[in-house]
């Protein structure tokens, strides 16, 4: 399918027609693999996010091929050897935001409980972060860790000192009222 993010939006939008929904198609997701020998960073600005304020439902989807690295060879290895992007073209999170008072302006500490699917493996996650209400906008930010083994991402022994077993993920999404 050429536009999986669009399909995700259509499905979720059809679920609750009366609710206030906040969306973006350009959320920023970055990750860092930090080791004593080498730091590996990548970023995507092509993640789609939808937040249904009435139900607290939150859904993220990011095309794996949208992650870009400082070195082309890193990007090639990431897509071909580790993430197998042709076989597993996207990562997603679907869950519910808890601890949010939609009537309050300003920053609030929240937790999103749901499933993170990556590399064909779904894992239940509880992710802490902040949401900031600014009129018709919500700004969502979080930072969390993902263990490669949890998503069956194999790291060959020959490069195991260059790639961290635990990857730090940072997310920033500016969601506009739809």
Please tell me the predicted confidence (pLDDT) of residue 157. 84
**pLDDT of 55 over the 70 cut:** yes
Give the C-alpha distances (Å, rounded to integers) separating 68 from 19, 26, 83, 128, 161. 35, 14, 13, 25, 22
- In the predicted model, is pLDDT for residue 12 greater than 60? no
Joined tokens for residue 121: 């493996």
pLDDT average, residue stretch 49-67? 97
Please determine, for residue 9, whether its predicted confidence score (pLDDT) is greater than 80. Answer: no
- Residue 125 clears pLDDT 70, i.e. is over it: yes
17 — pLDDT class (breaks 50, 70, 90):
very low
pLDDT at 11: 52
Return the pLDDT at 146: 97
CATH code for the structural domain at 4-12+20-177: 2.40.128.110
H or E stretch including 73? helix 72-77
Distance CA 116, CA 109 (A): 20
Write out pLDDT tens, residues 78-120: 999 999 999 999 999 999 999 999 888 899 999 999 999 999 9
- Average pLDDT rounded to a whole number, residues 28-39: 94
C-beta of residue 26 within 8 angstroms of C-beta of residue 46: yes
13 pLDDT exceeds 50? no
What are the pLDDT digits (tens) for 141-169?
999 999 999 999 998 888 888 899 999 99
Count Cβ atoms within 10 A of the Cβ of residue 78 and give its class: 0-12 exposed, 13-18 middle, 19 or more buried: buried
Confidence at residue 33, expressed as pLDDT on a 0 to 100 scale: 94
């Amino acid at each position: 399918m050429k536009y999986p993010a669009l399909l995700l939006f259509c499905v979720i939008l059809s679920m609750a027609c009366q609710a206030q929904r906040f969306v973006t198609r350009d959320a920023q997701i970055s990750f860092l693999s930090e080791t004593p020998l080498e730091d590996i960073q990548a970023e995507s600005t092509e993640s789609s996010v939808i937040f249904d304020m009435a139900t607290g439902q939150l859904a993220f989807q990011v095309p794996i091929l949208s992650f870009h690295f400082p070195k082309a060879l890193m990007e090639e290895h990431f897509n071909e050897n580790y993430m197998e992007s042709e076989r597993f073209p996207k990562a997603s999170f679907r869950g519910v935001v808890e601890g949010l008072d939609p009537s309050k302006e300003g920053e609030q500490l929240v937790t999103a409980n749901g499933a993170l699917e990556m590399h064909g493996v779904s894992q239940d996650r509880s992710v802490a972060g902040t949401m900031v209400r600014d009129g018709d906008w919500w700004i969502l930010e979080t930072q969390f860790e993902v263990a490669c083994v949890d998503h069956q991402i194999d790291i060959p022994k020959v490069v195991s000192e260059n790639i961290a077993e635990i990857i730090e993920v940072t997310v920033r999404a500016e969601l506009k009222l739809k």
